[in-house]
């Protein structure tokens, strides 16, 4: 019996040892920061409480994107969402690069805090746990970290915190609503992408637990809000469904808050991801909102007309090296919409689908080179 147990233990030990291929695959891949956005990760400490009254102070990693130059530039604090329990341990650093690229082009420093209970601080203390009861404690904790981010930004010479905005997606959208409801100094507006809490898209699609808690709380804090917001939701949101966000918005307005409601048709398999799937539709809405607040620098990538430089299938004249020409061959196989960009130093980037031109330029510019569109759809738009 002893020998049998020893053999079993040995077998389990050997099975637990990684093979070389698995070991190599598990090694972390070094992140490539967006040089053109001057992307960096800074850290500051914040103190928050959970719904049980427990208070802790922890470091908050914040991803910073900023324009070229010394500034100071106005600030935009953007907040990530909250994965369902089974997936939260894998929720890493949030990098909303397409959104940040647009906002940086508008002239903002964008700061994206990874709030306490996520990424580096996951486990043991979760100040945003609500148990599907009152959302007030999680709202206060999350918005406390927004205010701590702004306080930290005041120490950075390139940030002007006298005019700042808050935004977020999902629970990050809830965070932006909660922050606007606290009327902090310098805040001029808020943006809510698919905001809410309590969703379970896998087990109860479109039916969040206790949505009336959000209705009640948002209605109660709306009277304190002093700045306008824009709220964006998609018809096929598997977290909230199509009707519940409208009830939340009505409660906000009835309570005295100002918010434009932009409802979009279904996109993809789950409209909760509309921030990433539907830039072509939401960008003009956000752009108009920011223009109304005085932030009118053009930032949406415009598609040039066909230049006649070459036919779309003439890969030999594309001003890129061998790797770029191989990538261009892949680009030609992509369905529309699609875009291909080239840099002044032979670099390239390409994308297909939503906001293809903007994303292709972004991929090209990440290494810090100046880029322009070479082809969009079936047209060559490049001018030497």
- 278-312 pLDDT, tens digit per residue, is 999 999 999 999 999 999 999 999 999 999 999 99
My answer on whether 323 and 280 are in the same domain is: no
**Are 159 and 72 contacting, i.e. CB atoms less than 8 angstroms apart?**
yes
My answer on whether 152 and 209 are in the same domain is: yes
My answer on whether 288 and 322 are in the same domain is: no
**Are 336 and 377 contacting, i.e. CB atoms less than 8 angstroms apart?**
yes
For residue 157, being part of any structural domain is answered with yes
In angstroms, the CA 228 to CA 106 distance is: 19
My answer on whether 217 and 348 are in the same domain is: no
pLDDT in the model for residue 20: 33
My answer on whether 197 and 319 are in the same domain is: no
In angstroms, the CA 349 to CA 331 distance is: 10
For residue 97, being part of any structural domain is answered with yes
My answer on whether 167 and 200 are in the same domain is: yes
Domain ends where: 259, 292, 325?
Answer: 292
Identify any residues that bridge with 350 across adjacent strands, giving them in sequence order: 340
Residue with tokens 């905001």: 195
* DSSP code at position 47: E
Range of the domain at 49: 35-292
**Are 138 and 49 contacting, i.e. CB atoms less than 8 angstroms apart?**
no
Say what the pTM is: 0.90
In angstroms, the CA 357 to CA 300 distance is: 10
Residue with tokens 């099975």: 15
My answer on whether 280 and 323 are in the same domain is: no
My answer on whether 288 and 357 are in the same domain is: no
What CATH number does the domain containing 64 carry? 3.40.50.1820
My answer on whether 209 and 176 are in the same domain is: yes
My answer on whether 131 and 266 are in the same domain is: yes
In angstroms, the CA 168 to CA 315 distance is: 41
For residue 306, being part of any structural domain is answered with no
| Other beta carbons within 10 Å of 311 | 11
| Residues 6+ away with beta carbon under 8 Å from 322 | none
pLDDT in the model for residue 25: 35
My answer on whether 163 and 245 are in the same domain is: yes
For residue 240, being part of any structural domain is answered with yes
**Are 145 and 113 contacting, i.e. CB atoms less than 8 angstroms apart?**
yes
- For residue 302 the two structure tokens come to 């415009």
How many domains does the structure of the chain reveal? Answer: 2
My answer on whether 278 and 321 are in the same domain is: no
Domain ends where: 277, 292, 307?
Answer: 292
The stretches in the chain having pLDDT less than 70 are 1-30
């Amino acid at each position: 019996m002893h020998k049998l147990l020893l053999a079993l233990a040995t077998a389990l030990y050997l099975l637990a040892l990684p093979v070389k291929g698995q070991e190599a695959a598990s090694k972390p891949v070094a992140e490539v920061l967006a040089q053109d956005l001057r992307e960096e990760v800074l850290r500051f400490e914040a103190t928050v409480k959970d719904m049980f009254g427990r208070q802790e102070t922890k470091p908050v990693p914040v991803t910073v994107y900023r324009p070229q130059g010394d500034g100071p530039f106005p600030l935009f604090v953007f907040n990530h969402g909250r994965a369902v329990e089974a997936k939260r341990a894998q929720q890493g650093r949030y990098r909303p690069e397409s959104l940040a690229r647009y906002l940086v082009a508008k002239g903002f420093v964008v700061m994206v805090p990874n709030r306490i209970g996520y990424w580096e601080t996951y486990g043991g203390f979760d100040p945003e746990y609500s148990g599907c009861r009152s959302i007030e404690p999680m709202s206060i904790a999350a918005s406390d970290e927004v205010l701590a981010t702004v306080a930290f930004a005041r120490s950075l010479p390139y940030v002007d915190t006298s005019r700042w905005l808050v935004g977020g997606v999902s629970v990050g959208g809830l965070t932006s609503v909660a922050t606007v409801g606290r009327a902090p100094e310098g805040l001029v507006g808020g943006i809510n992408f698919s905001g809410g809490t309590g969703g379970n898209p896998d087990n109860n699609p479109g039916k969040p637990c206790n949505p009336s808690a959000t209705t009640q709380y948002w209605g109660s804090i709306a009277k304190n809000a002093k700045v306008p917001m824009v709220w964006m939701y998609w018809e096929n949101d598997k977290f909230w469904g199509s009707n519940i966000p409208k009830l939340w918005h009505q409660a906000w307005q009835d309570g005295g808050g100002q918010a434009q409601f932009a409802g979009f048709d279904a996109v993809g398999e789950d409209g909760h991801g509309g921030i990433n799937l539907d830039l072509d539709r939401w960008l003009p809405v956000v752009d108009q909102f920011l223009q109304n607040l005085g932030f009118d620098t053009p930032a949406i990538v415009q598609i040039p007309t066909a230049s006649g430089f070459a036919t779309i299938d003439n890969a030999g004249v594309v001003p890129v090296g061998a790797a770029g020409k191989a990538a261009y061959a892949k680009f030609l196989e992509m369905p529309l919409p699609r875009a291909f960009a080239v840099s002044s130093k032979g670099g390239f980037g390409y994308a297909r689908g939503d906001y293809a031109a903007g994303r292709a330029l972004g991929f090209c510019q990440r290494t810090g080179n100046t880029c322009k569109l070479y082809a969009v759809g079936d047209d060559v738009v490049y001018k030497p």
